[in-house]
Structure 1
Amino acid sequence: MGRKVTLATCSLNQWALDFEGNLDRILESIEISKNHGAKYRLGPELEICGYGCADHFYESDTLLHSFQVLRKLLESPITEDIICDVGMPIMHHNVRYNCRVLFLNRKILLIRPKMLMANYGNYREMRWFSPWNQLRKVEEYFLPRMIQEVTGQDTVPFGDCVLSTKDTCIGTEICAELWNPRSPHIQMGLDGVEIFTNSSASHHELRKADQRVNLIKSATTKTGGIYLYANQRGCDGDRVYYDGCAMVAINGDIVARGAQFSLNDVEVITATVDLEDVRSYRGEMCQPHMECEPELCHRVKVNFSLSTGDDVYLPTHQPITWNFHTPEEEISLGPACWLWDYLRRSGQAGFLLPLSGGVDSSSTACIVHSMCVLLCRAVQDDNRQVLEDIRRVVRDESYCPQHPKELCGRIFTTCYMATENSSEDTCNRARDLANQIGSTHMNINIDMAVKGILGIFSVVTGRWPKFHANGGSDRENLALQNVQLNHSLCGPLLWARGKPGGLLVLGSANVDESLTGYFTKYDCSSADINPIGGISKTDLKNFLIYCVEQFQLTALRRILAAPPTAELEPLTDGQVSQTDEADMGMTYSELSAIGRLRKISKCGPFSMFCKLIHLWKDVLSPMEVAQKVKHFFRMYSMNRHKMTTVTPSYHAESYSPDDNRFDLRPFLYNTRWTWQFRCIDNQVAVSA
């Protein structure tokens, strides 16, 4: 009796609106699946057009080109004799749906629209799609003429249905449906569906991977069954990085898995599993609950078997242990892969980073170095796509990187931007780190540019602003600090060295500084992209400790030992007199806690105070907590306008302050928070 089935799932590095490239990667994954003996292949969510099309989903072109790609897939001999499960947007009765299209041998078997939408955090699916809310209901979908010409079909089933082969039953979940309290796999499992599939576009966040794995293990622990998970990989055009992790599970165990971070554009995971294991598991664990549902799943029958008749000697995949990356490893790998996608697809020749010798810019430099390490490893592993992309970036068709440090020198430029307020120590720290990672490094003194700007100001006003240390006011002091960080003169550096191409300017403001607006608008916020804009200072410090050991970057020890400072005010006896934490009025660890309460716990001033008096009770009095909360909200509200211009950042934390895509709050506030602060004062008085 045939009972063993070989199934394939994959992680694909799709790119929004790259229909040709997306088609090639889909076909490659199907071909690999067939070569491994699979009879079913699952791909990621909206893989034909790319998940991140955003408002391009409004355009009829996106729907048209998706169907054109679907036709190519149907016509290709590569897709013969394997059930292919692909994702694309489809309009039915003038309503757009996020759909899975299952087809076999030039026939569309069914179209399954997404029923539970992701509409929180980074996701706005309800802006472009409607959920299919007709449980167990199936309608006829009239195919476009271009598809009818290939399939010979006028209509196909569209709705909440499952696929019934000669030997098993396959049901679909789409991404967020797994995370929902009413996940479809529960009812499908009770109705006898044995194989669940999930096509996802799930982004990376620090410390998130275990949630995804545990959900999938739990899904098959409760009712038994086989679970296939596919995911997008890479940067498909926005701030998030999709981190792969394709996997296959059975009865609560992971039996096959893909990489979480990889430079491979196509990764296919196959597993051979025994359907009898599912049936035995359910017979013991779930028998009392396996009963007929009031409304059974609509089954679409197909005359096809996933198993073969003679499979006695076919080995099955056994449970494996999932070793999760530490947060430090995630910072090293995720943003590095994201940067590489951005660089190779932007058509630029490398990165430029103002390297100050502090934790933040040094972290950005280390991420670029990590990227170079990954690239060299990929080339050593004979990844032809990576080598081709490297050669295109460096404009040399014969180039082959030999060492990460050497590659870093070709694509990474760092510069120390000195003023009269800069110390020799920070200059040396930046130089030493640049030497160890191999970047092309320069020292640039921008005093002339600063004085030129101030000269224009003095001509217009007849006054010359002064720092605090020289008798200036608070307003003068702040204005002078904001003048000094301009790095707009660093753009045409490759041109000046006689090399082709341009450089992408990297920002290095961490998530905590962005939250309070502790950066100069249109300066630190005017970079092209920022790999650390969603990472806390605490995590960045731990990451640098990791880099000391992992990459032998010993120069980082001095950087870690130095107090964080922007060096915006005059030196005192040649030493730094200004520190970031003193300027902000709180430590980075305090700010990290506040940021999580503000975004994740949805706290306003009063509820934040109520939580922090318990969290900080051992170190701060209620009065001191109240002062810090008030100070934060004043800074936050005064600087919210900066978030409208913040550099697009790698999304690594769920308390990202990026209001363009994630934190949808106003940028004009009453900075006095009169009512809210009075509630805090009243509570402090009660506790006194």
Structure 2
Amino acid sequence: MAPLVTLATCALNQWSLDFAGNLKRIKESILKAKAAGATLRVGPELEIPGYGCLDHFLENEVYENSWDSLYSILTDTSLHGIIIDVGLPLLHRNCRYNARAIILDGRILCLRPKLYLANDGNFREMRFFTPWNRPRHVEQYCLPPLVQKHQGCRYVPIGDVVLSTNDTTLAAETCEELFTPNSPHINMGLNGVEIFTNSSGSHHSLRKLDERIALIQEATRKNGGVYLYSNQIGCDGDRLYYDGCAMIFVNGEIVGQSSQFSLNEVEVVVATVDLEKVRAYRFAPSRGLQAVAAPEYERIDVDYSLSCDTFDLQQSTTPPRPPRYHLPEEEVALGPACWLWDYLRRSKAAGFFIPLSGGIDSCATATIVYSMCRLVIDAIKEGNEQVIADTQRIAAFSSELPKTAEELCNQICCTCYMGMKNQSSKETRERAKALSERIGSYHTDADIDNVFDSTRNILTHATGFEPKFKVHGGSITSNLALQNIQARSRMVIAYYFAQELCEVRNRPGGGSLLVLGSSNVDECLRGYLTKYDCSSADINPIGSISKVDLKRFIAWAMTNFDMPILKDFIHATPTAELEPITAEHTQSDEVDMQMTYQELSIFGSLRKINHLGPYGMFLRLLEEWGGEGNLSPREIAEKVKKFFHFYQINRHKQTVATPAYHAESYSPDDHRFDLRPFLYPPVFQSWSFQKIDQRVEAMEKRQKQKETV
């Protein structure tokens, strides 16, 4: 019987180009793993420089600095006695690789480059790196001179290799490779590999953890084996939030899982496993037949045992446990909140400014900030030293740490209702005030009529033309122009207040606030926002979250955060309040958009996730919305054409959209995730629309023929 083996994986809050901080966290995770008795430690993808360096990976300095960090790990004797799997970028024969260094007792055992690169959606790895698209190929890597001297040799193996220790066999795959159809772990397992490591830089999207867990479960359930999954956690300087959740699986069962959302900078998961269970699991003759025919890997012999030589009667295996998932509503509460905290503390800003309209979107933004404050207070109570240090610097109004989320929110969050006498309702003003009181934010109420009137009159004085709202007999053009004056004025005022409120409040050390946007993904998709209005901000925590999910989040927070005031927001009619309120007319978002938020969510998913153009979307919706008693083909056609018309004429707005937390896979984020033109041909003359019309006419003709028979 083989002795038991204790293994560790981790989630680290790395920051792009923070070499000193990243190195500190890497070393801390290794020491924690050693202290727990682990003989193997796995870390996140590209953990030395940080995953999100983007075009900095084209700079040779990043590679030199990464070797400096690795040299520090190699020469630190306190890190000896454990196999370390650490991620870094490498230059090899003038090609750049996303790689892993496997080291033991200050020596590099091998370098393992990534075989298949993530190159869709948010990822552009092939812009920076070359895939090692040669499974099982191994060659020699020439070490930097300083490392050569320490290593005692010029070369180490680089490639897709297997490590053979005295008591087991292990191999690595990296992030995207798990998601590919022919994953490396398949042939590795058939070659007798018992322990698989996976270093990832996997960002959070709503409901994405389910996919990760399912893939690892399936990999180890079919193949048997121990799988150590490591991931980055936190905001490393971009729109993505890496949600951690490092895990250890044995034969399809979870035996260790770290938190998915956390303010901790270092989380280490340790499990003790019995390799005999893996060997017993691989009993099927059909597996044996495939194993003897599988392609062979080059093995590197390592004179080291992962298991302990002594027989410890007290040692036992870590029992399986069910996976821990968060509801999507909880993900909205936790993911953007953790992202905001990292952004706030690392940007050195004094806090946040939120234009609070009394509607559900700005309400959701404010509630997420309040959720962040709750997480910070919980971390302070748990003694998190980094959070305490950051809070002492940010919450500067008091020498004592805030004791409640409301106290912290008052120090770092300012809200403002910017209304107009004839457009803003009493209800939205009161809702904004009540919400600010509940979360504890510093709240102001400012009327912007003077700014609106002054701006409107500039045109009248210059041309003699006096624009009017539609309800006052004005044209559609004038109606929209007057609405946009208000919207854009709010953006200017928001930044003015964000720069001055710290001085108004006599904040020690001064400072300025980050302006938070509050346009949701559906409004961005439809283009139902004013370019450079108060949706233009520094960052937007809800810019990739659907209205449907935001409503669910608010309903969840109403109970779980004890915020009954949120009920009023859920039942309020969504409105921009940019047109005068009369007895006959109150502006409504869904009436203005000529489609519902639920429909927008469906259109967005079909467009981005299912990759459907107008005609393809029409055919799909014929199946889902058509049939007896449902929408007619012509009604479906009109909805599809209307969506694409507004989507295409408003695409230009996404080119300047506020950087938003990425949460939804149908996000129209133009900066990286959803690359599309922003100047389209006239929509109603498009080829696809003609095909839709021809299909509708043919269907209606057949229907008439049936009715006359």
Deviation at 1:585, TM superposition (A): 0.3
Specify the SS of the correspondent of 2:338. Answer: helix
- Deviations 1:320-374, CA, capped at 9 Å, x for gaps: 0113111101100001001101100000010000011111110111100100111
The one-letter code sitting in structure 2 at the alignment partner of 1:637 is Q
Q: TM-score, normalised by structure 1?
A: 0.98
| AA in 2 matched with 1:370 | S
The Cα of 1:671 is off from its aligned counterpart by 3.2
Amino acid at match of 2:174: I
- The residue identity in structure 2 corresponding to 1:495 is E
Distance 1:531 1:512 in 2: 14
Amino acid at match of 1:466: K
Please name the residue that 1:586 is paired with.
595
Structure 1 523/412 Cα, relative in aligned 2: closer, same or farther at 3 Å? same
Consecutive unaligned residues in structure 2, runs of 5 or more: 701-709
> Which residue of the partner structure matches residue 365 of structure 1?
366
Q: Could you tell me how far 1:394 is from its partner in structure 2?
A: 2.0
CA distance in 1, matches of 2:153, 2:586: 76
Is the contact between residue 2 and residue 309 of structure 1 (CA under 8 Å) also seen in structure 2?
A: no
Displacement of 1:683 in angstroms is 1.0
How do residues 548-567 of structure 1 correspond to structure 2 at under 5 angstroms? Answer: 548-567=558-577
Counterpart contact for 2:7–2:40, Cα < 8 Å: yes
Mapped partners of 2:579, 2:537: distance in 1: 23
Check conservation: 2:491, 2:536, Cα contact below 8 A: no
Task: State the AA in 1 paired with 2:35.
Answer: N
CA distance in 2, matches of 1:565, 1:234: 34
Per-residue CA deviation, residues 294-333 of structure 1 (Å, 9 max, x unaligned), is 5411111111110012235211111101131111011000
Quickly say closer, same or farther: Cα 1:285–1:462, change in 2 above 3 A.
farther
Are 1:652 and 2:666 matched, yes or no? no
Q: Distance in 2 between matches of 1:293 and 1:159?
A: 22
Deviation for aligned residue 1:283: 2.3
Pairwise CA distance, 1:576:
6.1
CA distance in 1, matches of 2:569, 2:289: 60
Equivalent residue, structure 2, for 1:177 = 177
Aligned-residue offset at 1:291: 2.7
1:508 match: 518
What is the CA deviation profile of residues 65-105 of structure 1, one whole-angstrom value per residue up to 9, with x for unaligned ones? 10111111111123111111100000100000000001111
CA distance in 2, matches of 1:329, 1:652: 13
Q: Which amino acid aligns with 1:491?
A: A
- Three-state SS of the structure 2 residue aligned to 1:681 is helix
Matches within 5 A, 1:100-115: 100-115=100-115
Identify the residue that residue 479 of structure 1 maps to in structure 2: 481
2:387 maps to: 386
Aligned mate of 2:673, from 657, 662, 670: 662
Deviation at 1:218, TM superposition (A): 0.8
The question of whether the paired residues in 1 share the 8 Å contact of 2:2 and 2:275 is answered with no
2:693 corresponds in structure 1 to: 681
Distance (Å, rounded) in 1 between the aligned partners of 2:433 and 2:452: 23
Contact 2:261–2:334 under 8 Å retained in 1: yes
Partner Cα distance (2:449, 2:398) in 1: 41
Is 2:162 aligned against 1:162?
Answer: yes
Q: Distance in 1 between matches of 2:335 and 2:97?
A: 30
Counterpart-to-counterpart distance in 1, 2:440 and 2:505: 17
Secondary structure of residue in 2 paired with 1:414: strand
Partner residue of 2:534 out of 507, 512, 524: 524
For residue 41 of structure 1, give the secondary structure of its aligned residue in structure 2.
strand
**Which residue pairs with 1:318 in the alignment?**
319
- How many Å apart are 1:289 and its aligned residue? 3.5
Comparing 511-520 with 621-630, greater Cα deviation is found at 621-630
Name the residue aligned to 1:460: 462
Show the 5 A alignment for 1:9-24: 9-24=9-24
Equivalent residue number for residue 430 of structure 2: 428
Counterpart-to-counterpart distance in 1, 2:307 and 2:365: 50
Q: Residue type of the partner of 1:264?
A: N
The corresponding residue for 1:260 is 260
Alpha-carbon spacing, 1:294–1:614, altered in 2? closer, same or farther (3 Å): closer
Q: Secondary structure at the match of 1:166?
A: coil
Against the structure 1 CA distance between its residues 683 and 305, is the aligned structure 2 distance closer, same or farther, given a 3 Å change threshold?
same
Indicate whether 1:496 and 2:473 are aligned. no
Other structure's SS at 1:657 match: coil
Per the TM alignment, residue 290 of structure 1 is displaced from its structure 2 partner at its CA by 5.4
Contact 1:633 1:671 in 2 (8 A): no
Distance apart, 1:413 and its partner CA: 0.6
Alignment of 1:533 onto 2:534:
no
Other-structure match for 1:629:
640
The equivalent residue for 2:345 is 344
SS at 1:86 equivalent: strand
Residue in structure 1 matched with residue 705 of structure 2 by the alignment: none
For 1:360, the aligned partner's letter is D
Tell me, yes or no, if structure 1 residue 611 matches structure 2 residue 612. Answer: no
Inter-CA distance 567–240: structure 2 relative to 1 (3 Å threshold): same
Q: Is the 8 A contact 1:223 1:286 kept in 2?
A: no
Q: Sort the Cα spacing of 1:501 and 1:286 in 2 relative to 1 into closer, same or farther, 3 A.
A: farther
DSSP-derived class of the 2:199 partner: strand
Q: Which residue identity does 2:163 align to in structure 1?
A: L
Residue 214 (structure 1) shift:
1.0
Structure 1 unaligned residues grouped into runs of 5+: none
Q: Secondary structure at the match of 2:96?
A: strand
Confirm or deny that 1:443 pairs with 2:450. Answer: no
Mapped to 1, the partners of 2:293 and 2:465 lie a distance apart of: 82
Q: 1:162 to 1:365 in 2, by over 3 A?
A: same
1:273 maps to what in 2?
A: 273
Which string of whole-angstrom CA distances, capped at 9 and with x for unpartnered residues, describes residues 586-625 of structure 1? 1100111001011111111111111112222254221111
Alpha-carbon distance, 1:397 to partner = 8.2
Give, in angstroms, the shift of residue 563 of structure 1: 0.6
Equivalent pair of 1:567/1:576 in contact (CA under 8 Å): no
Q: Match for residue 706 of structure 2?
A: none
Q: Which residue does the alignment assign to 2:707? A: none
Instruction: Assess, with a 3 A threshold, how the Cα gap between structure 1 residues 253 and 628 changes in structure 2: closer, same or farther.
Output: same
Equivalent in the alignment of 1:303 = 303
- Residue deviations 1:224-266, cap 9 Å, x none? 1000000000111111111011010011111111011111010
Cα distance in 2 between the residues matched to 1:266 and 1:396: 29
What is the aligned residue count? 687
Q: Does structure 2 conserve the Cα–Cα contact (< 8 Å) formed by 1:417 and 1:446?
A: yes
Matching residue's letter, 1:684: V
Instruction: Tell me whether 220-229 or 482-491 shows the greater mean CA deviation.
Output: 482-491
Q: 1:442 to 1:544 in 2, by over 3 A?
A: same
* 1:262 counterpart SS class: coil
C-alpha displacement of 1:396: 6.1
Match of 1:35 in 2: 35
8 Å contact from structure 1 (residues 191, 293) kept in 2: no
SS at match of 1:484: helix
> Would you say 1:91 and 2:103 are equivalent positions?
no
> 2:208: which partner in 1?
208
Give the RMSD, CA atoms, in angstroms: 1.3
Q: Which residue of 1 aligns with 2:49?
A: 49
Tell me if structure 1 keeps the 8 A contact 2:2–2:276.
Answer: no
